[in-house]
Every structure is written in C-alpha cells, then in structure tokens.
Amino acid sequence: MRTRNQRQRRNVLKSLGAGATVAAMSGCTAMSSSSGRYSRQYSRNPWVAPRISMENVIREVVGHRPYRPSGFVVRSEKLDAKTIVHNYGHGGAGITLSWGSSALAVRETLGMEHREAAVIGSGVMGLTTSRLLQDAGWKVTIYTRDMARHTTSNVAGGEWGVASAHDPEVSSPAFKSQLAFAARIAHHAHTNLGGADYGIHWTELYNLSDRPFDATPGSYDHLYPYQTELQPDEHPFDSPYVRVSLTMMVEPATFLRRLTEDFHQAGGAYVVRDFKDKSEFVAMDEPVIFNCTGLGAGKLFGDTEITPAKGQLVYMPPDPAVDYLTIGGGSDLLYMFSRSDVLLLGGTFKVGDYSTHPEPAETARMVAGHQRIFSSFG
C-alpha cells in the first residue's frame, strides 16, 4: 500500500512535471562548456552548463516548509476581546503566495474600527501582511522569535510556483478556488516589484521529464508566458521531454531585506518575543493579532494537520553565465536555480521530517543527478 508520504511526494512530482524514473548516479562529470548547436527563443546568450561538482559545494542548508495537505489557512476568530487572523501553512509556496494570501488575511479586517495590529512572525507572510496593513493606514508591530534572515523564508528556493502548496487529492474545491485567487493577486504584485531592488526577475524555466507532459492545460499555465514543448533537436538536455516557459525568480535574501526596510520606513516596530501559548495574546495591547507563525501554529493553535516538509538545498558559487532554471530530469525531486547570490540545487520534500541536519546522501544524489542532466552539453 502506498504510504501517505509517498503519495505526497508523487503529487508534488506531478505538479512540477518532473520524471519519476530513478536516474543513474555514476559516471557523471561536471560540465562547463557552452553549446552552440541549439538556438534559444527567449535569450540571446549561448547555452552554458552550470559548474556542478562536490568540490564546488560551499554550503548545505535545511528548511522546514509549513505544509498542510488540505492547504493554507486564512480565517479570523475571536480570542476573548481579541481578533485573531490566521495566515499560515503555505508549504513550499510561501514566497510565491505571500502578497496574495496576505491580501486575503488583511481583507478579514474590513469594517473594523481599529487601526493597530500585532503580527506574529517575521517570515515572508508576516512581512507582506504587515506591509499591506501599513498601506491601509494601520500601525503595526511585528513580534518574532527570529528575524527574517533566520526564518525558513530566507532559505527558500525562490522560483515562482504554487506546486507544493497543498495535496490536490486532499484539498477541497473551495480551497483550490482560494488558491487560484491568491495566486493571481500574488503574481500581479510580484510583477509590479520586478527589478534589482526586490530581487525579482524573469528567466527561462525548463521542465524536464522522462514521460510526456499532460496535454490538458494547467490551472496556472496562463501565469507562465511563452510556454512551449521542445523537440529533442531543439535543446541540449539529457531528457526526452522538455517544456520551456518564462517564470519569475524571487531571490529571498534581497526580497526579505527590502520588505524589512520598507516596514521600518513606514513606521513599523519589531519586538523579539517567543510565544509559548495563545493565552499570551490576551494580554497584548493590540486588539487585532495576525498569526503568521508557520509551523508554530501547530503548537499555538492546536493545528494537528500542519507538518514540516523538510527541504535540503546545496549552494554553489554563483554563475552569471547560467541564465535559466531547471526542474525535474532525475530521481525524486531535482531542481537547479541560478541566482545572483548562489547557484542552488534541490531538492527534497520529506513530509513529517523534523530533522535539521543536512544529509550527505541527499547532497550526493542532487549533485550526481544534475551532472547527468547537463552531461550532454558540449
């Protein structure tokens, strides 16, 4: 019988378009030469393979996505005289959905006379919620255990995509509608902030698969311009099926740093505090409290569904010549994101795994798998 964890991983793979066949791990060598045999429709630069090797690994990091198979929570409730607005549980799509989900959360305050709020949590949901409140004229204080640079948001991959926000076999039609609405708002907001200031830019995304892509248009295809399937003689990847589109890359460190600066410039204040129980909220001065605590919502509010989905990332030195991203093309989850700060390899999606240490075997798998993907460049 298929385990729940296996089913979760299968759904993520299906959403990403990645192949499920186990790739050979041996006989791989790092490639760095460019390939002039193929033209690129969206870039004038030549194909360049990333310099991937174990010797180039500069850091391995682990993050825990706050995952709920039924989807993220946006709703309000009363706690004595306080109004609690929840905004948590976005899986691996927190940066992607940040502006949209936070807009839904702020919408919960319509009709309120209060204009003072506490936001619990300084990750991307806490920051975007705070900024939208400030834009609406609220005085906002962020209460947090960790500053933004120490949150899970800061070790995210950053490609704009909603694939790991929920389990489509578990989530309800109502949630899927809410997700689509949040995605549209978030997509519009991110496009408005494109450029170096917020670390957002458009780039090519290549989905690699060992099986044909679903011919049925996806729910979010319209948010990925110029989507095209390539024939084997149109690309250099060691993969039988390749789909190219344009996507946004959001560089987490730049994005979070700029949001933090904007929050301060708008008069926001930080208080470092670690809440142990929701009863502590009752004694706070602010009448409206936004719960943007991610995994912490499980303990604070008794959410038994939320669970970590462990992700491991491998950082290598940045390579400006590599101006595209890849998803798929190997065993389990694989992705390569070329950013200005690092060249990043992923990935894992281990539901229920609370361990915080990087696993050497996963690093070796990701490095070898990506070496194979680019082995046909020349």
pLDDT of residue 197: 96
What is the rounded average pLDDT for all residues in the chain? 88
- For 280-326, write each residue's pLDDT tens digit: 999 999 999 999 999 999 999 999 999 999 999 999 999 999 999 99
Question: What domains does the chain contain, in order, with CATH numbers?
Answer: 4-66+202-250+308-373 (3.30.9.10), 73-157+252-305 (3.40.50.720)
- For 82-137, write each residue's pLDDT tens digit: 999 999 999 999 999 999 999 999 999 998 988 999 999 999 999 999 999 999 99
Q: What is the DSSP string of 245-288?
A: EEEEEE-HHHHHHHHHHHHHHTT-EEEE-----GGGGGG-S-SE
8 pLDDT higher than 90 = no
- For 33-85, write each residue's pLDDT tens digit: 445 567 787 888 888 999 999 999 999 999 999 999 999 999 999 999 999 99
CA dist 62 to 315, 330, 353, Å?
11, 20, 11
Q: What is the DSSP string of 123-184?
A: SHHHHHHHHHHHHTT-EEEEEESS-GGGSGGGG---B---GGGS-TTTS-HHHHHHHHHHHH
**329 DSSP β-pair partners:** none
Q: Which candidate, 56, 54, 95, places its Cα nearest to that of 249?
A: 95
Map tokens 């295809």 to a residue.
221
Rounded CA separation 67/352 (Å): 9
- For 219-244, write each residue's pLDDT tens digit: 888 888 888 999 988 999 988 999 99
Rounded CA separation 33/20 (Å): 28
Rounded CA separation 152/142 (Å): 17
**Residues 98 and 186 sit within 8 Å (Cβ to Cβ):** yes
